[in-house]
Structure 1
Amino acid sequence: MMGIMASNPHLNHQSRTARTTVICLLRWAKFWRMLAWLIGAWTFSTACAMETVEVEQSGGKFKIRGEIVVEAVDGGMILRDRQGKLWPLKPEEIKNRVTDEVPFSLMEAAELGKEILKQLPAGFSVHKTKHYLICYNTSKAYAQWCGGLFERLFRAYRNYWARRDIAISAPEMPLVAIVCKDKQTWRRIAGPEVGTAVDTIDGYYNLITNRIATYDLTANPKSVARSTTSRNISEINRLLSQPQAGQLVATVIHEATHQIAFNCGIQQRLSDVPIWLHEGMAMFFETPDLRSKKGWRGMGDINLNRLQQFQNYLQRRPDDSLYTLIANGNRVQGRSEDPRFQGNRGALDAYSEAWALTYFLITYEQDAFVNYLKFMSEKKPGRAESEPQKIEDFKSFFGDLKSLDQAFVERMQREIKRNARRFR
């Protein structure tokens, strides 16, 4: 239930973003509270041995086999099991541990697929692509469509950063996507992880399990026509190329972008990654081009919805907005004193500025941004940094905040004027 990044395209764009942010805050708040015992007293494990840990949680005992990612001085740890799931364990929850001589290894595709199917209701199957396992109970054609979409995104993401001297590593194991056939199945699968939010979101990435989950977008009667098992990929593509389906597809892309970033060396799971950075990058890549069979022709183009909201925010934007975005928004704690990501207006403003800042830095400060991204990719799990340190890290790459903020606002105002006729 921790580390959920969720999107909700049911609502209009502004309401959707606000609701999504609240969901993210609640889940991230639990995550960081649970990791608080690690901060300041941890070491990183370089061993590759398999650990068998006996755990007691919520009155029940069970065993986890995996590798230690981070170990605290007091005995707490973050363990990664063979399915790629991360287990933050407090010292009092660990009842026994045994180190095996057998080296740790993640599951291969065939074994992983079988294990996931055991965790899902009857009727699910697995569709395998080069980098993905699509676990689905919808039509085979829709599973293939999702696999093709994800692979195109993966290629586009890899090529985009390769051209900017950032190497994208191959995932250590297949990336998993759960695709439900309808809302009923979706509630059953997603409900235990996202709670009551299940009826207001259409997809999410779980940082702990490392999986994305969504449902058949053509089965959403409010947005596009109902699906049938007889549809082929061309028909699915035609339906989801309709303007009213654009935000639905962007939802899936947004969550899949998070998954790629956390599995290909751009960011590390459970590290103190700035929220403006990982959300800004997801918004930067989220607009798909379903007419292209090879990738995203519009990758990195202006996100009109975000730009329009940023225009609205500029009318009341405080002088310290950039500072608070970088300092207060880096580690989402879900507390009332974190003003950037609280409430509908705050959420809308924060997300629009996160996109605008990412767009500005990639477009006009590209060399510095690439170096900053490389720096952030080296941050280790389980450690939070102070607000002053976050600011100093940022300034070491981009210089004086006041000067940068002035250039940032001026450039985005030009973009607003250039694109004003395209606003809704």
Structure 2
Amino acid sequence: MEVKSHARLSMWKMSCPRRRRRFDLGDTHRIRDSVIASVSRLPYQALPSIRYLAVAVLVLWSVGPQLSPPLLADDSVPGVEVGEEAVGNVAVRTVQIEFKQGEASVSTVGEVQREYADGSLLLLTPDGQLWTLLHDEIQSIHDIDEPMQAATSKEIYEQFKEQLPPGFSVHKTRHYVMVYNTSPAYVQWAGELFEGQYSRFYNYWKSHGIKLDEPRFPLVALVFSDKASYSRYATHEIGQSAESMIGYYNMKTNRMVSYDLTGVDGSVPNGRRVTRTQIVKQVLAQPQAERTVSTIVHEAVHQLAFNSGLQVRLAANPLWVCEGLAMFFETTDIGNTRGWGAIGKVNYHNYVMFGKYLPSRKPASLPELISDDSKFRDSATASQAYPESWALTYFLMMTRNKDFVAYMKSMQQLPPLGETSPRERIDLFKQHFGELGELDQDFLRYVTRLR
């Protein structure tokens, strides 16, 4: 069984066909980076110095009729021999397919995003989920002429509620399907937050020369009433790391998952209505109000970026770009009655964190951040990588915006499950922004003068 799990992991690699090799720990980290759902923060009760400790969310398994276990439970498992690897891109084709998931079979229409020499597939289904299927899991498959139609909000809810305990309802906005079992007022407020962010996000990129696509699928957000019920669900989906998160975006299922951060659902008598105004007051009255709202917005930005075409799901997107963008757009305005204001303000939480890092910052910090994602994986450096990612993104978007837009357009060309070497990352960055030494000086000069 372990061999099968590691063989599945080999399917995610992209290299020359008909080459046999050993799967090792280095592959584990590269794959983990390519499919990271979101590197989330610890609960805000944690010490400020570790509040941004990264927790990598490995989502190499699918959410279906039964929740499958993680495909890689232990990094210490020794390397095993694996067979032929991925052979690259094929034209997207529509298929009728039946495949095994645990003890059940799933029959659906889907689009083949990538095809591999051994018959394994990366499949996109009408609800927006991506499935990685081994050849021996595919029971039948044939091409069809009709294009795949995205599921409607109602269809997604009807399918999804079968996987949840009783008591969940649905709240629909223009772009979001919010499945919840908490106070309707909280979900209404969160929906308004998401829709406001949606408009600002699209308007920002339109005004800066990038035309985004409308999401092909309804944007799904699952909101639990409390931390305990959230943890039970999230632990099945992403493992024990869920205990240290207050929300995440799963790049594979394409869903946001969080819980009611106000606690208001359990603090009012049954049957008593809670108004939206009370919800906003409850949120903004908390000591960590700014961080609470920022976290909600942060994960929603990830979902928007990967559904608008700004970034490609499961591509080799540098984590400093993913997290830097989310932190740029997450900046809140507690003075605003909705809890969130204009885009482009200084993110003072990250500004302060970066200032604390500066005295010990090494000259190689910038190339290390750009060339690979190891600083996000290491608990000793994650609290440095996050604020530096925000600071670099803010600097480039405010002073080199045309170059940053061109850089993001090059990111849009990355294929799903592709790889880029550290050297390729550096070269692409320099192609748009020039030599790192001079840029680093300008970067530090600009950030230290911010107020």
Change (3 A) 1:217 1:82: same
- In the alignment, structure 2 segments of 5+ residues that lack a partner are 1-31, 62-69, 76-81
| Counterpart mapping for 1:124-143 below 5 A | 124-143=168-187
| Structure 2 partner of 1:397 | 432
| Structure 1 partner of 2:97 | 52
- 1:162, CA displacement in angstroms? 1.4
Change (3 A) 1:393 1:357: same
C-alpha separation in 2, matches of 1:292 and 1:170: 27
| Structure 2 partner of 1:216 | 260
**Paired positions, count:** 397
Contact preservation (8 Å) 1:211, 1:259: yes
SS in 2 for 1:23: coil
Change (3 A) 1:294 1:122: closer
Residues 1:195 and 2:244 are matched in the alignment: no
- 1:61, CA displacement in angstroms? 5.5
Residues 1:239 and 2:285 are matched in the alignment: no
Per-residue CA deviations over 1:333-357 (Å, capped at 9, x if unaligned) read xxxxx3x124333001111111111
- 1:246, CA displacement in angstroms? 2.0
- In the alignment, structure 1 segments of 5+ residues that lack a partner are 330-337, 419-424
C-alpha separation in 1, matches of 2:60 and 2:319: 10
SS in 1 for 2:380: helix
- 1:60, CA displacement in angstroms? 6.5
| Counterpart mapping for 1:224-303 below 5 A | 226=267, 230-242=273-285, 243-289=287-333, 292=336, 296-303=340-347
Residues 1:185 and 2:229 are matched in the alignment: yes
SS in 1 for 2:311: coil
Per-residue CA deviations over 1:35-87 (Å, capped at 9, x if unaligned) read x999762113233x2330424x6677554541111122342221011111101
C-alpha separation in 2, matches of 1:3 and 1:343: 15
Contact preservation (8 Å) 1:9, 1:247: no
TM-score by length of 2: 0.81
C-alpha separation in 1, matches of 2:417 and 2:108: 19
C-alpha separation in 1, matches of 2:370 and 2:401: 18
- 1:275, CA displacement in angstroms? 0.4
Q: Which stretch shifts more, 100-109 or 57-66?
A: 57-66
| Structure 2 partner of 1:15 | 50
Change (3 A) 1:220 1:412: farther
- 1:184, CA displacement in angstroms? 2.8
Residues 1:207 and 2:251 are matched in the alignment: yes
- 1:406, CA displacement in angstroms? 1.4
Task: Choose which of 411, 419, 422 in structure 2 pairs with 1:376.
Answer: 411
- 1:179, CA displacement in angstroms? 0.6
| Structure 1 partner of 2:78 | none
Residues 1:385 and 2:420 are matched in the alignment: yes
C-alpha separation in 2, matches of 1:273 and 1:356: 18
Q: Which amino acid aligns with 2:376?
A: F
| Counterpart mapping for 1:109-188 below 5 A | 109-188=153-232
- 1:392, CA displacement in angstroms? 1.1
SS in 2 for 1:217: coil
Change (3 A) 1:219 1:111: same
C-alpha separation in 1, matches of 2:83 and 2:127: 25
Change (3 A) 1:227 1:405: farther
SS in 2 for 1:17: coil
Q: Which amino acid aligns with 1:319?
A: P
Contact preservation (8 Å) 2:51, 2:383: no
Contact preservation (8 Å) 1:267, 1:377: yes
Residues 1:4 and 2:37 are matched in the alignment: yes
Change (3 A) 1:341 1:31: farther
C-alpha separation in 2, matches of 1:392 and 1:116: 43
SS in 1 for 2:446: helix
* Structure number having the greater helix percentage: 1
Contact preservation (8 Å) 1:276, 1:325: yes
SS in 1 for 2:217: coil
SS in 1 for 2:210: coil
Change (3 A) 1:38 1:68: farther
- 1:210, CA displacement in angstroms? 0.3
Change (3 A) 1:316 1:289: closer
SS in 2 for 1:213: strand
| Counterpart mapping for 1:407-422 below 5 A | 407-415=442-450, 418=451
Per-residue CA deviations over 1:372-396 (Å, capped at 9, x if unaligned) read 1111122121211122111111111
SS in 2 for 1:404: helix
Identical residues among aligned pairs (%): 36
| Structure 1 partner of 2:17 | none
